[in-house]
Amino acid sequence: MKLKWLGHSAFELISNRGLNILVDPFIQANPSCPLKVSDMHPDVICITHGHADHYGDVIEIARNNPNLMVITNYEISIHLQKEGVHTIGINCGAEIKLKDVKIRMLDAKHSSSLDFNINVPYAGNPGSFLFTFDDNLKVFHAGDTGLFSDMKFVIGDIYKPDIALLPIGNIFTMDPSQAAIAASWINPKVAIPMHYNTFPSIEQDPAQFKIEIEKTVPDCHAIIANVLETIEF
């Protein structure tokens, strides 16, 4: 599996059989992402919740890629279907399989609304995703979230991800210290920080996350990803 951070919470995951998954496709308005919407050719987009910095450019990417399938919560999927986008609307706990990847929606402690719309419609519960690849490698994308105990009792104890992508920006999510606690509960082999330094309001030093991880979870390797760097697992 190949993982590429596109800045903020946007990640590209490419399976061993070439399934290209884009998570939280915030491209055009993402100051950290040098790519253009026209550069994006995913097979699947997964959206954790409705906020503009996660929903991102899904409509434009879907228009450029007619076979694209979007996996998101039921409420956002209804909204996207009205825009002509192919979706599978799921909810917390459910798992579907596409090619060689199983995709499960799990919980997140946050909010979800289509905040770019003038009426700010409700957009279901915010979620996270667990991707299980055919070699049983498991990647957990936490979405936007605060700490919650099921990070230990459900995500850590039952699903046991190998790699955890954790927000550290504070203001809307956990900060580096809390994300290190999350890592101690989830207990992955690798933790990668996300959702920081995109805007002044979420400025954080990812080195602080690495230091906290080394203190709290010595068996976990914190990787500070560079935007567009491909990391192979």
Residue with tokens 């007619």: 66
Tell me whether strands 101-107 and 163-167 are parallel, antiparallel or unpaired: unpaired
Residue with tokens 């082999």: 189
Question: What span, in angstroms and rounded, lies between the C-alpha atoms of 87 and 46?
Answer: 10
Local structure of residue 10 (DSSP, 8 states): -
Which of residues 8 and 51 has its CB atom nearest to Zn ion in the complex? 51
Size of the site for Zn ion (CB under 5 A): 2
Minimum CB separation from Zn ion for residue 172, in Å? Answer: 5
Nearer to Zn ion, 107 or 144 (CB): 144
- Per the CB < 8 A criterion, the answer to whether 197 and 9 are in contact is no
Q: 77 vs 184, which CB is nearer to Zn ion?
A: 77
Q: Considering only the stretches 98-106, 136-144, 155-163, 188-196, report the one whose residues sit in contact with Zn ion under the rule CB under 5 A.
A: 136-144
Among 4, 8, 51, 79, binds Zn ion (CB under 5 A): 51
Beta carbon of residue 43, minimum distance to Zn ion (angstroms, whole number): 25
Does 109 interact with Zn ion (rule: CB under 5 A)?
no
- Shortest Cβ 111–Zn ion spacing (Å): 7
Provide the minimum distance between the beta carbon of 60 and Zn ion in the complex, in angstroms, as a whole number.
20
Helix (H) / strand (E) element for 213: namely: helix 206-216
The CB-nearest residue to Zn ion is 51
From 57, 144, 175, 212, residue interacting with Zn ion (rule: CB under 5 A): 144
The nearer residue to Zn ion, 145 or 184, going by C-beta atoms, is: 145
3-state secondary structure labels for all residues of 137-195: CEEEECCCCCCCCHHHHHHHHHHCCCEEEEECCCCCCCCHHHHHHHHHHHCCCEEEEEC
* Interface with Zn ion (CB under 5 A): 51, 144
